[in-house]
Structure 1
Amino acid sequence: MGAQENAALVRRGYEAFSTGDMNTLRDLFAEDAVWHVGGTGPLSGDKKGRDAILSYFGELGTRSNGSMRVTVEDVAAGDRYTVGVQFSHAERDGKTMDQRQVIVLSIADGKVTEGTEMQEETSLVADFWS
């Protein structure tokens, strides 16, 4: 796959995440994919395997009582990585999280094999999800 196809795959992933379409998300990830979440909060760390990644995505929805919203600002694809820039909004226990995030993705054979999630402000994320 080339850069355009990888960018389209990432956009499909964002659409599936936004609509809660876990079946499409499942199809977009390699079975042994890894998702890295930086910071020190309760959701930080590596999610190893497609099922663990999808569970993490579900946890975002559960912990935010369904208020988690992601707006794609841009997707850029290069030779090695595809990058998604997003604005995230969620509400939880009287707190609100509004911030920009970047997801760096590795794609092979039409599947996401690795994702690294980088938050604008990791301390805000840690506090919000705690």
Structure 2
Amino acid sequence: MAHNDDNIRLVQRFFECYGSGDLETMKRDILAEDVTWIIPGHHPLAGVKTGAEEIINYFATIAQANFKAELISLSASENHVVDVHRGWGEYGEHKVDMNWVLVYQIEDGRIKQAQNFAADQHIADQFFWNVWGDQLKSVPERLK
């Protein structure tokens, strides 16, 4: 059985890997193989990501917008960690900077599930549409 401090260290390690771009260590040592990650909103990257590989690909994608995170607070219980962090990104003229809350379910020393909450989902949706919405347009529209 994990101790609250172990769960907090796991999420701190997740943030260290995220911040340094060490997605392989994240995949190998932090995420459960069958992890689910719930991204809220109505934008091209929203939805449930399933499996460590899909989640790593998601993090690699948002890195294109120089997305960064800075921890503000962590709290834990036997099977959960809640983080509050500042998350920001910039892609050309498009910027986002707000607080986010994630609720992690921890199982067998790994992140089994994470659910993400944005301080202002409308702003987050607009940012993600501005950056990745063109990828969903038809080829003639993208070539204009």
Q: Same fold by TM (over 0.5)?
A: yes
Map 1:30-41; keep pairs closer than 5 Å: 30-41=32-43
- 1:5 corresponds in structure 2 to 6
Deviation at residue 84 of structure 1 after TM alignment: 1.1
What letter corresponds to residue 67 of structure 2 in structure 1?
A: M
TM-score by length of 1: 0.94
The answer for unaligned runs of 5 or more in structure 1 is none
Question: Percent identical across equivalent pairs?
Answer: 26
The answer for unaligned runs of 5 or more in structure 2 is 130-144
What letter corresponds to residue 45 of structure 1 in structure 2?
A: G
State yes or no: 1:75 paired with 2:77: no
Across the two proteins, how many residue pairs are aligned to each other? 127
Question: How big is the alpha-carbon RMSD for the aligned residues of Structure 1 and Structure 2?
Answer: 0.9
Deviation at residue 41 of structure 1 after TM alignment: 1.1
Deviation at residue 40 of structure 1 after TM alignment: 0.6
- 2:114 corresponds in structure 1 to 115
User: Larger radius of gyration, structure 1 or 2?
Assistant: 2
What letter corresponds to residue 32 of structure 1 in structure 2?
A: D
What are the superposed Cα offsets for residues 91-122 of structure 1, whole Å, 9 maximum, x if unpaired?
01302100000010001111110000111111
Aligned residue for 1:112, secondary structure, equals strand
State yes or no: 1:18 paired with 2:19: yes
Deviation at residue 49 of structure 1 after TM alignment: 0.6
Question: Would you identify which runs of 4 or more consecutive aligned residues in structure 1 move more than 3 Å?
Answer: none
Aligned residue for 1:123, secondary structure, equals helix
CA distance in 1, matches of 2:124, 2:108: 32
Map 1:46-125; keep pairs closer than 5 Å: 46-62=48-64, 64=65, 67-125=66-124
Instruction: Name the structure with the higher helix share.
Output: 2
What letter corresponds to residue 41 of structure 1 in structure 2?
A: H
CA distance in 1, matches of 2:127, 2:73: 25
